[in-house]
Structure 1
Amino acid sequence: MSDMSVKAAASQVAKTVASSSRLLHASIKPHRSATRGHSDHGWLDSYHSFSFADWYNPKYNGFGLLRVLNEDRVAPQTGFPTHPHRDFEIFSYGISGELTHRDSMVRKGQEAGVNADQFSRVKRGDVQFTTGGTGIAHSEFNEHKTDTVHFLQIWAVPWKRGLPPVYHTSQFPDKAKREAADRGEFVPILSPLAAGPDATAAEEEAAVPALTGTIPIHADFGMGATLLAPGKTALWMVGLGQPGEVTQANKRKVFVHLPMTTRHKKNDSSGARVRLDGRDDAVLDEGDGAFVELVHAGDKLMVESIGGAEAEVVVLDTA
């Protein structure tokens, strides 16, 4: 088959997928990068999709159980000193560089034999997860001498307060995300704790997630990611795609985020760009997000890469 025939066949497949994946009942509203809060402290350059710290916008106080989505860059040899958290599910998603996470009990130079979740160097593709629960303290530093670290910090509201504090750290490599993209899929990263809100102490200790291979979260919440080459299309299965893996199947929400991986100029098609559900009014550039509402477990949200660079797409699926 000639190159032209291959391209024509691929185009026809994309059109077929698009026509079969339209969620006519769904509402999709972009959240432009320019409408995010922005704080530049020199050592920390942070964009806030939702109200956070010294930036407040009543239009953006959360989305379902999603409360915080910060896109952070931390300069070398700087970071967040030891600080407490409680009653939030908090996770960092590594994009580039290396973020060193230390439990407050772990001292620098004394890491030998320490649990890998209490001390970890979060690199690209890693997810470091914290259940704040009754109270936990840790630090997050960029200990590299020259390289900036770029990551997403995300907070979700748990299904109840006073949970036992816990850490989890897992890796979700680029290779798996690209292979998923070739299949038209996302890699699932978070899913609810299988035992649910009434988990016993033993079930908390076992930490079995609803979806094998994911990190368990104490919330009706899911997360996925994929790496879409230009022209590729992937489908996110709302509610993680399986009955029983979410506690509220109807009236779900999905927030889609396209991190700033190339920092291209606005509307420069040489950077990453995606289109949601085949809608021309739901095209996202780097730094943009989108509120997807009125969807249900089992719906398929289509994401197309239509820019000039590979698109790293993160989806947050919430009741």
Structure 2
Amino acid sequence: MRWEGNRESSNVEDMRGGGGGGFGLGGGTIGIGTLVIALVGGALLGVNPLTLLGMMTGGGQVTQQQGPAPAPPANDQEAKFVSTVLADTEDVWTELFKQGGATYQDPKLVLFRGAVRTACGAGQAAMGPFYCPADQKVYIDLSFYDTLKSRLGAPGDFAQAYVIAHEVGHHVQQELGITEQVDRARARASQAEGNAMSVRLELQADCFAGVWAHHAQRARNVLEQGDIEEAMNAAQKIGDDALQQASGRAVVPESFTHGTSAQRQKWFSTGLQTGSVKSCDTFSARSL
């Protein structure tokens, strides 16, 4: 991915503090193996990740913000990459909203280590990157990228960019009022029905990630050979069915909350090929 030298976002908050490596929780650490198991927990239990956020209100050393969080160090290459990708999503979605007669409000992106207090409750690194609609922030422990590469088998900078674009896609849903509508519907639905709605919400975020990639490529020629394959591979590795199989458990479609590998690839590809927000209407689609 061609990103170096491009604009960096000023909406990145560094709440990592001065701790060392690993995920410090309650004086101990979470190993990579435990992290992978935790990543599939939502899919296995059929629990919405936002619900997990609200449940995880205790345990572990939680990073708490004291006043405005600082920007990441200028020489931090990983943070620099994240800031540049976030800036690119800002440029794309600002223009698309403008074309639709609306104003896009940029989300914040918070870098943390181990655990973090959010408006949705206490989030932990084991959950992977997530978006909190209550404070309109994307949260990521950059160690997740090591897991994405080494344990989930999805290396590459564009795979990493896809992860960020997906979470920003959830912010776009919040801006469009989609998240609120789905949350209201889920409150009246059964567990299985709620999971099915979550799948459509997640697949739409994948499609929105593809929409971003489409317009970023047209405007700034960011894609290099193999980038699309990296994103498609990442989508395959983090499908609900793939994660359940990787954990050694039976595949239980009724528990899916993010969609199968094939579905995630399909909807990212749809957004990438069309560049159209309208093409991402997963809620009207008869077949996912």
- TM-score scaled by structure 1? 0.25
Greater share of helix = 2
Q: Which has the higher contact order (CA 8 A, sep 6+)?
A: 2
- TM-score scaled by structure 2? 0.27
Greater share of strand = 1
Q: Rg bigger for which structure?
A: 1
